[in-house]
Structure 1
Amino acid sequence: MNGKVIGIGLVAAAVIAGAGMYYLQVYAFYDRLPADTVLHVAPADGGVPRVLAVQDFEGVDATSSPLRFRACFRLADAAQIADAEPVANPLPLIAPGWFSCFDAAALGAALERGEARAFVAEHEIARGVDRVIAVFPDGRAYAWHQLNGTLEE
């Protein structure tokens, strides 16, 4: 009988720890960003990043990692990215399931098919991390942070 109690206690502790870890990874550290969050775009000539005029902004971020930023929005005018610096290898990162406007798999597939184009929004938003914006012809846009390779140098 004593072994059953210990076994049940170990299983219960593992289930509680697993549920706690899941909650911490998916919900605890994310904060919703305000609708008036300012986004920039970096011109290809290396000039000063410009503020983008955006609409319908939804975003999340976390202080626990610079890679947790995700955003969905519409560009007020697609011409504001005409001289933006393209990204050679855009890799959208998966957002938490509850942030439903950002579908990394669908966005990555659209980028591969050429249905959307990706640009550098800001270089070195954190050490070794760039902010990337993907834009569709209809003005839908998505942003995320991705590693830029400078940490390997």
Structure 2
Amino acid sequence: MSGRLLASIIVVFSLLFGVALYYTQVYAYYDRIAAEDVNLTLVNASTNEPEPFIANDIEAIDGSSSPIRFRACFTSAMSTAAMTETYVTYPDPTPLNAPGWFDCFDAQEIGAALEDGQAVAFLGEKNIHDGVDRVIAVYPDGRAFAWHQLNEKYDEDSSQPLE
């Protein structure tokens, strides 16, 4: 077998593997969720229990391969001032990137708005999966976004042992 043939086989195999890997990371493990199948809640500050949250125009994705693949975009009719008085705010929100094809969710923009105080993050549900919280960020104009985020169970500084 000549060196060129062997090099060509390696290059073709590498390209095919790269395409397959890209597809699995960006498309294969995500599924769109029908709006009626998305149940959004917010934790009430006085009861510490999740309550149903009315959202409109829901677009959502999730993946079965990881509990932190959930992302959602929607609108809220409730004002952020009323929400701040009623629901538990989230102390350290960190929106996670969504695949590029889910273009309503821009983690960098949401993160910047949270840092600047243009949006407020709330606890949607504590431990929606073991060690994972659902976070909901709401803008004053009603735009809202949700994602799953690792909670204090997985903090590097946590003194709790991982199970």
Pairwise same-fold verdict (TM > 0.5): yes
Percent identity between matched residues is: 48
**Could you list the per-position Cα deviations for residues 50-99 of structure 1 after superposition, in whole angstroms to 9, with x for gaps in the alignment?**
00111000000000001110000001323456321111111000000000
Give the Cα–Cα distance (whole angstroms) in 2 for the partners of residues 81 and 12 of structure 1.
55
Question: 1:38 maps to which residue?
Answer: 39
1:150 matches 2:153: yes
Matches within 5 A, 1:1-153: 2-36=2-36, 37-78=38-79, 79=82, 82-151=85-154, 152=158, 153=160
Give the Cα–Cα distance (whole angstroms) in 1 for the partners of residues 114 and 40 of structure 2.
21
Q: Which runs of 5+ in 1 are unaligned?
A: none
Cα distance, 1:127 vs structure 2? 1.0
Cα separation, partners in 2 of 1:34 and 1:80, compared to 1, 3 Å: farther
Give the Cα–Cα distance (whole angstroms) in 2 for the partners of residues 134 and 8 of structure 1.
50
TM-score, with structure 1 as normaliser: 0.94
Give the Cα–Cα distance (whole angstroms) in 1 for the partners of residues 53 and 85 of structure 2.
12
Give the Cα–Cα distance (whole angstroms) in 2 for the partners of residues 23 and 68 of structure 1.
16
Give the Cα–Cα distance (whole angstroms) in 1 for the partners of residues 45 and 74 of structure 2.
22
Q: Which runs of 5+ in 2 are unaligned?
A: none
Matched letter for residue 57 of structure 2: D
Q: How many residue pairs end up in the alignment? A: 153
Query: 2:17 aligns to what SS in structure 1?
Result: helix
Give the Cα–Cα distance (whole angstroms) in 2 for the partners of residues 124 and 48 of structure 1.
12
Query: 2:59 aligns to what SS in structure 1?
Result: strand
Give the Cα–Cα distance (whole angstroms) in 2 for the partners of residues 93 and 146 of structure 1.
8
Give the Cα–Cα distance (whole angstroms) in 2 for the partners of residues 35 and 82 of structure 1.
27
Give the Cα–Cα distance (whole angstroms) in 1 for the partners of residues 40 and 122 of structure 2.
12
Query: 1:119 aligns to what SS in structure 2?
Result: strand
Query: 2:61 aligns to what SS in structure 1?
Result: strand
Larger deviation: 43-52 or 17-26?
43-52
Cα separation, partners in 2 of 1:87 and 1:80, compared to 1, 3 Å: closer
